[in-house]
Amino acid sequence: AYTYTVRARDAAGNRSTASSQLNVTTQDGGGGGDTTPPSVPGNLRSTATSPTSVSLAWNASTDNVAVTGYEIYRGTTLVTTVTGTTHTDTGLTPATAYTYTVRARDAAGNRSTASSQLNVTTQDGGGGGGNKLLGYFTQWGIYQRAYHVKNIVTSGSAAKLTHINYAFGNVQNGQCTLGDTYADYDRFYQAGESVDGVADTWDSGALRGNFNQLRKLKKQFPNIKVLFSFGGWTWSGGFGQAAANPAAFAESCYRLVEDPRWADVFDGIDIDWEYPNACGLTCDTSGFSSFKNLMSALRSRFGSSYLVTAAITADATSGGKIDAADYGGAAQYLDWYNVMTYDFFGAWAAQGPTAPHSPLNTYSGIPITGFDSDSAIQKLKSKGVPASKLLLGIGFYGRGWTGVTQAAPGGTATGAAPGTYEAGNEDYKVLKTRCPATGTVAGTAYAHCGNQWWSYDTPATIGGKMSYSKNQGLGGAFFWELTGDTSNGELISAMKSGLG
């Protein structure tokens, strides 16, 4: 109990006599105030499952003051408390049944009664994933690298691929445009260079170049679907303008992909925007929703019979590139995401520390927490992207430093190791003999030779990554890009073997 009085005071400091006394007793600490619990959370449901996770969602509760959180129970165990109406429960056992309930809670500690029970069974870890195997074919590979569509056949890769992304088309003035017309549809192929052994013609209107070779490839391997990919690191600068008028962009892309001269070549479109509402070669400020809006427009224009996909960032850091755009919201419009789970580390950090460019998971000493494949996959799942719409990325190349004395990861360096086409970057087919792997870390290989340190995937580490893809229930895997493999398709064979 407390007693209160009040006195008035003027500028000279004179005070009145005290008011009459007021006696007040505070409430019992056991809770004499708000005693009304929130309403019961409705429509508890599962939005996605994998062998080791269950994604949950429910309808929001109401309260006489305010709902402050939701308690998620697995059986009788309190898993966590969240403020939103979704949660992904991880670390589960494959092919196992779980029961979930949710309670709403307010600031006074009142809890609703439990929601109705939801019974969910995780996917079978023995092979719940898909077997999509997608590879990038680069239009510029026909020049210095001398890699043509015919090489896809002679290497044995065509018999293993399910999809090819043709890279790249450009994005200019808010529209899809061709990036290299000579390589795309004009280069003359002699009989010995051609997929079917038949030379191109100079007849008016005849299709030549990569497009015609892809047409011939599809005739021999009708199971392969080809997508036209737009953007990439160099040509992503135009997406911001495209996002200002998504419908016009989608119309331009449709007209280009479905140009009557090569309409039968492509089965869909892939968008490689690096990066929406974030920085790549240039910085984009089009906003959190721009990517979703662009994907919605593309799906509306291309319709359900075409494939619409996107290559996306794997930056799972808090507030990083995955958080910068609405990848969860956009997923409904896409057939799948190619998650670029490579290039996490490299000699752009010239002094090191040396680190694998494509770690499958985190490890002690990793330079940046959240820069690993598993963190990206789990973060995308937590945003509501179904596992079946995620493809794991594999690099058919290595990244390396020079001036390194330490064999293990974490060493210092003086700069980028020399590469055939780019410093700090080299194809697997070269590295496998020039700088053979000397160890593994975080599910990928590394090599120390002389004063150089490289990281890259081998058939063995790819096998482990394909097992991960299957166990996580992913849609499959993809790789960048065909020219990095051996002439007999060593890496793609390992991917095919692992995916089944």
Burial of 136 (0-12, 13-18, 19+ CB in 10 A): buried
d(CA 140, CA 422): 14
Candidate list 71, 193, 274, 490, residue with the active-site label: 274
**Phi, psi at 41, each rounded to 5°:** -60, 135
CB 443 within 8 A of CB 465: yes
CA distance 92 to 50: 9
Other C-beta atoms closer than 10 Å to the C-beta of 244 total 12
Sign (positive or negative) of CA dihedral 288, 294, 295, 297: positive
Yes or no: say if 286 and 277 are a contact pair by the CB < 8 Å rule. yes
**153, 220 Cβ separation under 8 angstroms:** yes
In Å, what is the CA distance from 378 to each residue of 50, 472, 480? 10, 9, 22
Count the neighbouring beta carbons within 10 Å of the beta carbon of residue 202: 7
Is 426 an annotated catalytic residue?
A: no
Cβ pair 15, 7 in contact under 8 A: yes
Length of the chain: 500
CA gap 174, 388 in Å, rounded: 31
Residues noted as catalytic: 274
